[in-house]
A and B are shown apart, each in its own frame.
Chain A
């Protein structure tokens, strides 16, 4: 199967008719899109067109109305359509699945108001609905979809292949064998067995009519009846085993949910404590601001106060200057007087003459005449001015508080934003998740009960499997006895009808044996091939010299082998798990009887830059057509183009028109 064109209309963020065309040449299409632009919606478009399912983040598969484009709905368009054109062998199919409104519904409120409609066009002719479903199922059986529509977020499930008792592992193994074509042999053998039963019944009937062989034919008939009883018992045991396995899966989910619920509740407590601490911090900041604002009224008089302060300052400065000048002059006069009245100058120890004394006295007189100290009024004025300044300065402090108030208010705003993020986003999402997990649980559920029940389930399953094996062993014994009796009948009878019936029975038995024996031979061969091809891919991606390759188990689980010890790597990391799953998918595609394109969403989660680059080089080896849905930053565009440029056939970008409207823009890539 090859893709030729995908078109999407009014689905997810794709309001308008958007088309992705695939060239006839093999290669990789890269679809670049930021988070929320519609990469997973493209994956869902494939799910919808092939299987009539759309998967939301909660895992619901039929929430159709949630995928109606918001803007389209606002304009009254409540339907959507996905069309995929493919070629398979020499035919071209156009598969369209649309969402339609139930009769009488104008605006759908629930998913019961809508229904999907499939139409298939084969080489230009519309086919009837039964054949349409058959064509779609043949192109991509749902059981193997996981290997074609690859969701990187589900990679860890492949690790369950390493666990022989895992129910999920058994499901994946079944899917793997389906893609490898095993059902052709297993069902071929089962259907040939049904034919054998029919011919065996006929041979027994005919032999019962021959007196030579009637006795043995009757024994065969009795053994067949006994066999039927054992087959019925096996069916019963298998049904019971299925019930137990379903219960085991439910309990495992419950235990996982309990663990998850515990961690959610812990996280809820942490967030609530953080909110409380921030609220207390806001209160403290508010108290501080209120305290500062107690003197806020003073800002009104600051200009007046400042003017008054300026005037007082000038007065004080003037009076202080006068006072200090007077003091300075008095000190000079004292020195001169000491020289006049004393024996010598106190500074230079010179003994002044009479004439000099006379001059100095005159100087003293002149200085004293020009010096005036503060008058008593001026003294009072100076004291009063200083006192008044002290008082007025207290009113001026508010100016310096403004900055602090502003800073604290900003802190309060930031804290409020933090609280809003925590409460309205993180806590709200968490409560929604808690509600989803808790809705089916009893408040009194004891997690240990689930653990006990799980152990009991496992024991039951073991007992049932033992029972099935015992019944199968008995059936094999009966079959052996029947074969012996039939041989005896053939030897004893000369009746042509008996001989013919046995001849035909032998013929059908031969067909059944061919298919039955082929199951084990082919399965072993497939496992060898898958191991070889997965190892080749894995080593092409890995640069860990200590890893020698991969080793496969009965469930197609792959272990990484250490070169030196020959043992499997224990507890491998999520990144290596990813790489092994990649290798497995590539190997399965290489060995599958039918091929098809691979679409990968979020293919490189948890990979280091170096490993991503290595994996990228292996992408063209996975299938003839590969489509990658990646966000910028998930892989490096320039190194990608450098490494696999020759294999890239197109790049498209999911362009934002609005938050709910995306356009797909293609850029042709010429390597």
Chain B
């Protein structure tokens, strides 16, 4: 009996790998976890999702500073 998000995650990973390989798989996984954990609280769900994205976006530095992801 199926008891996981495997198919859902596999779909996301397939699209990421094929079309958006520069996007780290970890950010997608974290967003999925946040969505699962906060299904009953839309405001918290959105806020936490944006926080995850912010965290990974902050790692993107300008080329001048040499800190590219």
Contacts and interface: CB of A to CB of B under 8 A. Distances in A.
B49 A508 contact: no
Contact of A499 (B7, B36, B62): B62
B27 A195 contact: no
B23 A507 contact: yes
Nearest to A623: B1
Given A518-B12, A525-B7, A595-B2, A500 B56 contact: no
Nearest to A135: B40
Contact of B53 (A141, A511, A521, A593): A511
A167 interface: no
Nearest to A516: B15
B15 A514 contact: yes
A187 interface: yes
A324 interface: no
Residue from A508, A513, A623 with most neighbouring chain B CB atoms (10 Å) = A508
Interface of A: 133-134, 137-138, 141, 181, 183-185, 187-188, 190-192, 194-195, 198-199, 496-497, 499-500, 503-504, 507-508, 510-511, 513-515, 517-518, 521-522, 525, 529, 589-595, 623-624
28 contacts: A137-B39, A141-B39, A181-B5, A183-B35, A187-B35, A188-B31, A191-B35, A191-B45, A192-B53, A496-B62, A497-B62, A499-B62, A503-B60, A507-B56, A511-B31, A513-B19, A513-B20, A514-B20, A518-B11, A590-B2, A591-B2, A593-B2, A593-B4, A593-B36, A595-B1, A595-B2, A595-B3, A623-B1
Nearest to A533: B2
Interface residues of B, number: 40
A141 B40 contact: yes
B18 to A, nearest CB: 10
A590 B3 CA distance: 8
A52 to B, nearest CB: 14
Contacts of B7: 522, 525, 529, 591, 593
Contacts of B42: 187
Interface in B15-65: 15-16, 19-20, 22-23, 27-28, 31-32, 35-37, 39-42, 45-46, 49-50, 53-54, 56-57, 60-64
Contacts of B49: 188, 191-192, 194-195
B2 A521 contact: no
A671 to B, nearest CB: 20
A181 B5 CA distance: 8
A496 B64 contact: yes
A525 B11 CA distance: 9
Nearest to B27: A511
A213 B35 CA distance: 37
A184 B2 contact: no
A592 B11 contact: no
B11 to A, nearest CB: 5
A191 B50 contact: yes
Contacts of A185: 8, 12
Contacts, number: 120
A187 B45 contact: yes
B19 A517 contact: yes
Contacts of A188: 31-32, 35, 49
A589 B2 CA distance: 8
A134 B11 CA distance: 28
A181 B22 CA distance: 26
A592 B64 CA distance: 47
A41 B16 CA distance: 49
Given A510-B23, A511-B31, A513-B20, A195 B60 contact: no
Contacts of A137: 39-40
Given A499-B63, A594-B3, A510 B22 contact: yes
Contacts of A187: 35, 42, 45-46
Nearest to B46: A191
B20 A195 contact: no
Given A499-B63, A522-B7, A595-B1, A198 B20 contact: no
Residue from A496, A510, A591 with most neighbouring chain B CB atoms (10 Å) = A510
A184 B27 CA distance: 14
Contact of B20 (A133, A184, A510, A595): A510
B35 A500 contact: no
B41 A517 contact: no
B3 to A, nearest CB: 5
B15 to A, nearest CB: 5
Given A183-B35, A595-B1, A500 B61 contact: yes
Contacts of B22: 507, 510
Contacts of B12: 185, 514-515, 518
A192 B3 contact: no
B2 A517 contact: no
A184 B8 contact: yes
Nearest to B5: A593
